[in-house]
Structure 1
């Protein structure tokens, strides 16, 4: 049995961490669904920057939208949502078969809004309406300013993918925002069934400490953070507070493993996806990791609900001088800055292409 199928049988969804117009046009995404059990995908500014910048697949659309008076962020939003609607339609049978648990795609609010609560709320509502797909998440960063935007968006009925989470504490803050939004909906007599996922970034931890810890601790921090967070996730799902919401018809905010591509060339290319095999979670992965998993990956069972040896491993990192709380803040800040950089570069690429296409068609 294919390893990707085994993960599904274990209770984990597999989502592609990529989207391009080319994999939609040439049938690659359809093949991933059929052959690799892919049941959703995520996108971010870096993914779209690479897709649009390194391909001519968007040129005709950019030229046509330019002629229609579109530019900048509005033009990009149309390009991105055209791709994501097509992907959402491919995943719609899964979405329907799982009653909305699986079969999702994601679109990010502008990273420039990471510190703008009201701007994020307004953007989430706008993207949700413009996308016009029931199975599209709006991605909002789990920054301090993003948390109230997440709560308000959930209350408004917007499905949210909480991104840029790096620790158990980040996850619990995102979960709290989700729970408050659902509780407010119930108090207002609204349908409590609003979907959400909480995306925990894994591999960036190990990259950050690669040259700061003993060899025996390399490539172990991200997995330990994942184990600690998974324990908190299972505890929340067993809590009286959650059970009360579930009885009212709410659905769990699922934990999603993000940034699962191995950064260390000396480590296994399936390191993270194998270690983070866990029921009721989502494993996202880039195409390279998806192919590696299918080719030579193995599923050795589910990770421990109590986090296994996560706390013991984290104690070793503390002894080695790693302050995981401070590093989590640093990684979230760097992640937000990285997306701003990609966003700015993306809009510049589109502007350059607009100008080049205008000259070519003059």
Structure 2
């Protein structure tokens, strides 16, 4: 039994943090389902920027759609939805077998809408409607405007993957938005069963403080923040408010660990998967980390609900001058900015490929 099988047995879902047309066409994604217990996947603007810009898998489709007059965001969402609906169909048996708990894929709204709550909610509804798949999440960042959009989207019945969460406080804001949306559905006589996950980003904490703290504290902050968030997650699920919603038929908003590929070459390449093994959670991992954990990852047991040790670590970081609350806000802003940059790069790649492929086509005709 490999490491991924042990995580699956523990009760943690393992999702791939990647999507390319090559993964689908080659059958590699299907192999990950069979061999590595992968039960879902996520995407983001950076992933698609890499997939479209650094491969030729999309060239034929780009040329065809550009010839039809499509460009920019419209062309991109055509490409993304083609990939993600294929992936969603691949995961559909898992989705059905788990009564909608697992087997999800995710598509992010334009990061340019990060500060536009109404625009984000409208786009989430539009994209989910276009996909016509009951196992496709729409990703909305947990920014202040995003929190409003999350509540509105849940109320509208759109399954939401809340992204770019970096702290317990940000997680709780997302959880509150989810529950408010469900409560409004119940009050309106609507079905309360609308799925959601809340994605806590982990490794970016350790990258941010690497040059600010002693060696002994390297690669420890992200895990401590995650453990603190996990305790808040368990407390939410044990609360009377949540039990009332569950009794009405609502689904749990599951906690998801994101950004769990090890960035420090001096650290274990399975560091975050081993530390964050927890039942009823999700870990979304890059392909490199997936292969590493399948090969030599070890599950030492479930992550402790007691955060005493984590709080001691956070005290050490505070003593070293790290303001975790301020850094969480900074990381969320930087994450949103990074996705916006990738979005701009992606639009430029699509425009460039559209032009060059059109020129190539004209040259062949000539």
TM-score, structure 1 as length reference: 0.99
* CA deviation vs aligned residue, 1:154-178 (integer Å, no higher than 9, x gap): 0000000000000000000000000
Asked if 1:93 corresponds to 2:66, the answer is no
Q: 1:312 maps to which residue?
A: 312
Q: 2:334 maps to which residue?
A: 334
Q: 2:172 maps to which residue?
A: 172
Q: 1:289 maps to which residue?
A: 289
Q: For residues 9 and 240 of structure 2, what CA distance do their matches in structure 1 show?
A: 28
Deviation of 1:79 (Å): 0.1
- Preserved contact between residue 40 and residue 103 of structure 1 (Cα < 8 Å): yes
Q: 2:322 maps to which residue?
A: 322
For the residue of structure 1 that corresponds to 2:144, the secondary structure is coil
- Preserved contact between residue 161 and residue 198 of structure 1 (Cα < 8 Å): yes
Q: 2:145 maps to which residue?
A: 145
Q: For residues 43 and 170 of structure 2, what CA distance do their matches in structure 1 show?
A: 21
Asked if 1:207 corresponds to 2:241, the answer is no
Q: 1:184 maps to which residue?
A: 184
Deviation of 1:308 (Å): 5.0
Q: For residues 342 and 308 of structure 1, what CA distance do their matches in structure 2 show?
A: 38
Q: 1:227 maps to which residue?
A: 227
For the residue of structure 2 that corresponds to 1:145, the secondary structure is helix
Q: 1:13 maps to which residue?
A: 13
Task: Give the aligned CA root-mean-square deviation in angstroms.
Answer: 0.5
Runs of 4+ in 1 over 4 A off after TM superposition: none
Q: 1:75 maps to which residue?
A: 75
Q: 1:4 maps to which residue?
A: 4
* CA deviation vs aligned residue, 1:316-337 (integer Å, no higher than 9, x gap): 1111110000000000000000
Q: For residues 308 and 314 of structure 1, what CA distance do their matches in structure 2 show?
A: 10
For the residue of structure 2 that corresponds to 1:15, the secondary structure is strand
Deviation of 1:9 (Å): 1.0
Q: 2:359 maps to which residue?
A: 359
Deviation of 1:309 (Å): 1.2
For the residue of structure 1 that corresponds to 2:261, the secondary structure is coil
Q: How does 1:44-123 map to 2 (within 5 A)?
A: 44-123=44-123
- Preserved contact between residue 227 and residue 308 of structure 1 (Cα < 8 Å): no
Deviation of 1:307 (Å): 2.8
Q: For residues 309 and 296 of structure 1, what CA distance do their matches in structure 2 show?
A: 26
Name stretches of at least 5 consecutive residues in structure 2 with no aligned partner.
Answer: none
Deviation of 1:147 (Å): 0.5
* CA deviation vs aligned residue, 1:54-95 (integer Å, no higher than 9, x gap): 000000000111111111100000000000000000000000
Q: For residues 7 and 159 of structure 2, what CA distance do their matches in structure 1 show?
A: 25
Q: For residues 97 and 309 of structure 1, what CA distance do their matches in structure 2 show?
A: 37
Q: For residues 306 and 4 of structure 1, what CA distance do their matches in structure 2 show?
A: 25
Q: For residues 5 and 94 of structure 1, what CA distance do their matches in structure 2 show?
A: 16
TM-score, structure 2 as length reference: 0.98
* CA deviation vs aligned residue, 1:238-274 (integer Å, no higher than 9, x gap): 0100000000000100000000000100000000011
Q: For residues 307 and 238 of structure 1, what CA distance do their matches in structure 2 show?
A: 17
Name stretches of at least 5 consecutive residues in structure 1 with no aligned partner.
Answer: none
Q: For residues 109 and 300 of structure 2, what CA distance do their matches in structure 1 show?
A: 37
Q: 1:43 maps to which residue?
A: 43
In structure 2, the CA distance between the partners of 1:84 and 1:246, relative to structure 1 (3 Å rule), is same
Q: For residues 59 and 309 of structure 1, what CA distance do their matches in structure 2 show?
A: 51
